[in-house]
Structure 1
Amino acid sequence: MDEVMLALLRTLSSLSRPRIWRYLAAPALLALLVGGGLSPWLFPAIEGALLQAPPLSWLVRWDWAGLAGFLATVGSALTLLALAYLLATVLASTLVLPWLLADVARHDYPDLAPMGRDSLLASLVNGLVAALGFCAGWLLTLPLWLVPGLALVLPVFWLAWLNRRTFTPDCLAVHATADESRHLRQVHASRLLILGAVPALLAAVPLAGLLAPALAALLFAHYTLEALRRLRGGAVVSQ
């Protein structure tokens, strides 16, 4: 867990640089504008879809329409929040991450030689696959939210998974070779998921939660570049 704590501390240190805040704010503002504009249409559509699908449709059939309506409202709010987070994540990974990563690498890891290859197409494909996987996982596990406790765990898990799946490959693309990237993603898989849970917990905070995806990009930049530095220096910590 020392790698996770080190990434957190270095992220806090990076936040003292005013330039970093521009990278954090840009995807949040864009996601807020798009999400705010679409929410009056999306919210009732999602709520209606949830009420017509099991298990909420069963509750309506059993004359528990009040409970079904409450759960549909909560589910719609959480789903809308997840979609806003997903949009901010896509924007952070495609538009902001290259500049953010270059700033972090230049300031904190000047000794780390870039041995990879940056590709906008690869980043877009990675983001699309991550978004599809996230949406599929979120929808398929929606019925499990009725299990006590899972309504708190599952949203955080899927947002953490989205952070790991989106930012790990992109943060390693410029500096790591294909073999190094593959090795680091395998060895550090569980720690990267824990790291992704940190900004995922912030997603529930109104408005401020939209900063979480860009903050996740900063966290993953610090973690992956330090992990790559240790790998090349021979200091590899097993999972």
Structure 2
Amino acid sequence: MDEVLLALVRSLHSLTRPRIWGYLLTPALLALVVGGGLSPWLYPWFRDALLDLPPLSWLLSWDWPGLAGFLATLGSALSLLALAYLLATLLAGIVVVPWLIAAVARDDYRELAPMGRDSLLASLVNGLAAALGFTLGWLLTLPLWLVPGLALVLPVYWVAWLNRRTFAPDCLALHATAHEARNLRRDHAQRLLILGAVPALLAPVPLAGLLAPALAALLFTHYTLEALRRLRGGAVVSQ
């Protein structure tokens, strides 16, 4: 079975276990509380900042305030969603992944020996580096959203990139050696990006999108642990 499809199937099976839902809901609820509290201040700031930057500032100079205002409102809403997703991703990577790894490995990968080292500091540094890359990429490519079609592609790409950059290292940290983790991330880079795009499709959905980071963590947990098991010669190709 294809590795991405296998991770999807096993993740769906994991969702039948009640304790998994506790792990999924924790970062979503925290991100909702924090994001909801900050949105009254952040929304007007995003809107004003977008109106001051090209190409929206050009629209204002061309006396098209209606279009500029609409695009600024849309961009502000999408930026708030991206910020909430980013916060939920950081929480999932730092707090939820260790719980998921312990639960999933105990249930589905008992024969996989932990040969790495789980470090809260390393996870925090990895999460912050991923957040910085995501934020810069998101902001630098915002003008390209005016190109027909790219407004649909770019958000999915950047969220998929964030998922891969955040969860692939964290999910391998405990079980894989540094050499194994490096090789798996290199050899599976394209498939990991595709895997990251699956929960990225949920990201724009209000409220439900906040579950996407924890779902991504679950998907990456199954994918990386199975890839590591195959690398060590213990391939299992069905549920």
In the other structure, the counterpart of 2:211 is 211
- Quote how far apart the aligned CAs of 1:234 are: 7.5
- Residue correspondence of structure 1 range 1-239 to structure 2 within 5 A: 2-233=2-233
Distance 2:134 2:183 in 1: 23
- CA deviations over 1:45-83 (Å, ceiling 9, x no partner): 100000000010000000111111101111001000000
TM score, norm. by length of structure 1: 0.97
Distance 2:151 2:80 in 1: 15
- Structure 2 letter corresponding to 1:106: R
Identical-residue share of aligned pairs (%): 80
- Structure 1 letter corresponding to 2:222: H
Compute the RMSD of aligned alpha carbons.
0.9
Distance 2:72 2:231 in 1: 47
- Quote how far apart the aligned CAs of 1:33 are: 0.3
- Structure 2 letter corresponding to 1:183: N
Distance 2:202 2:103 in 1: 24
Distance 2:36 2:152 in 1: 24
Distance 2:9 2:225 in 1: 14
Distance 1:27 1:118 in 2: 20
SS of corresponding position for 1:175: coil
SS of corresponding position for 2:116: coil
Structure 2 gap ranges (5+): none
Distance 1:83 1:225 in 2: 29
- Structure 2 letter corresponding to 1:130: A
Structure 1 gap ranges (5+): none
- Quote how far apart the aligned CAs of 1:204 are: 1.2
TM score, norm. by length of structure 2: 0.97
